[in-house]
């Protein structure tokens, strides 16, 4: 029973913190030492896959529309049609563009990021995230959609969020708002741009783990996968509601308190 509860807790932590602006990687680092489980890194990868399924589930209609329209636009292009690109195809291309700077930052600084995972850096990461959330709440809303420039800026913010304690969802959302994107589009784009990054991260870490011929506990993997999926859906819905009500400062307070706890007790 205790064994199952530990796996549920891992899925809960990853699922709830992946899309809330409080840094899932920071919480995994912080609470990882409490689990005493074999292959914690593997379970973390599985939890990421669960959150990937969560965002795909929540945006399934939008993704279907996105890919279908992109396919029609490509087909028209081969027919030498001069029809302008649809909004969905522009969004698809912007998602690809936003992924590029994140991947470049990862490839160039991955070793540095891996070496920087410590409680000391967590404090600074959490505090930076707290400041960003306050900015998001008080930033005057614009009405611009995501474009080539804002997508690239949000991709850079996503790359910098590889540092422990800096929230991916928080940094990309704030970056979008600062460059003039309206709140709804910035939040939706932040969720959608997480799909290729979570997928690439899971594949990258999964290949490394399975090449090491580790022993796999399939029951534990199933528990973590389902739990992270359920709480990932919940965190997306909570995030959407709080952003619309300008209540992100709640997470700022939480991150500041958490930073103080780490400072004095870890």
Q: Is the pLDDT of residue 112 over 90?
A: no
Q: Is the pLDDT of residue 190 over 80?
A: yes
What's the whole-number average pLDDT of the chain? Answer: 86
Percent of the chain with pLDDT over 90: 40
Q: Is the pLDDT of residue 94 over 80?
A: yes
Distance CA 14, CA 56 (A): 16
Contact indicator for 88, 62 with CB cutoff of 8 Å: no
Average pLDDT over residues 32-60: 81
Tell the residue number behind the tokens 């997480």, with chain if given: 194
Reading the block at residue 29, the tokens are: 């680092």
pLDDT at residue 61, rounded to an integer:
92
**Per residue in 195-213, pLDDT tens?**
999 998 888 877 777 776 6
Q: Is the pLDDT of residue 188 over 70?
A: yes
User: Which of 55-59, 66-70, 186-190 shows the lowest per-residue confidence on average (mean pLDDT)?
Assistant: 66-70
**Per residue in 47-65, pLDDT tens?**
889 999 999 999 999 999 8
* Number of C-beta neighbours around residue 61 at 10 A: 8
Between 117 and 257, the more confident residue is 257
Backbone φ and ψ of 135, nearest 5° = -60, -40
pLDDT at residue 37, rounded to an integer:
59
CA dihedral 238, 113, 150, 89 (to 10 degrees): -80
**Per residue in 129-186, pLDDT tens?**
999 888 887 877 788 889 999 999 999 999 988 888 899 999 999 999 999 999 889 9
Between 85 and 15, the more confident residue is 15
254 pLDDT band, cuts 50/70/90, is very high
Q: Is the pLDDT of residue 253 over 80?
A: yes
Average pLDDT over residues 62-84: 79
Q: Which residue, 117, 116, 110, is CA-closest to 208?
A: 110
């Amino acid at each position: 029973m205790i064994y199952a509860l530990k796996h549920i807790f891992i899925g809960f932590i990853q699922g709830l913190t992946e899309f809330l602006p409080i840094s899932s990687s920071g919480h995994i680092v912080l609470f990882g030492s409490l689990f005493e489980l074999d292959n914690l890194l593997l379970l973390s990868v599985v939890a990421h896959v669960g959150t990937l399924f969560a965002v795909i589930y929540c945006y399934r209609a939008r993704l279907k529309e996105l890919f279908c329209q992109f396919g029609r636009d490509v087909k028209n292009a081969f027919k030498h049609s001069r029809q302008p690109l649809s909004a969905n195809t522009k969004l698809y291309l912007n998602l690809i563009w936003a992924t590029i700077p994140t991947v470049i930052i990862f490839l160039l600084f991955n070793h540095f990021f891996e070496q920087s995972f410590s409680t000391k850096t967590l404090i600074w990461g959490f505090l930076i995230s707290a400041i960003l959330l306050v900015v998001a709440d008080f930033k005057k809303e614009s009405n611009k959609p995501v474009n080539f420039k804002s997508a690239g800026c949000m991709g850079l913010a996503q790359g910098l969020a590889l540092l422990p304690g800096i929230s991916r969802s928080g940094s990309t959302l704030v970056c979008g708002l600062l460059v003039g994107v309206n709140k709804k589009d910035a939040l939706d784009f932040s969720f959608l741009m997480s799909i290729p990054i979570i997928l690439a991260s899971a594949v990258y870490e999964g290949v490394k783990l399975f090449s090491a011929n580790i022993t796999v506990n399939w029951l534990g993997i199933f528990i973590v996968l389902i739990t992270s999926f359920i709480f990932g859906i919940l965190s997306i819905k909570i995030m959407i509601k709080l952003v619309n009500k300008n209540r992100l400062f709640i997470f700022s307070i939480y991150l500041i308190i958490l930073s103080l706890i780490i400072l004095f007790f870890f």
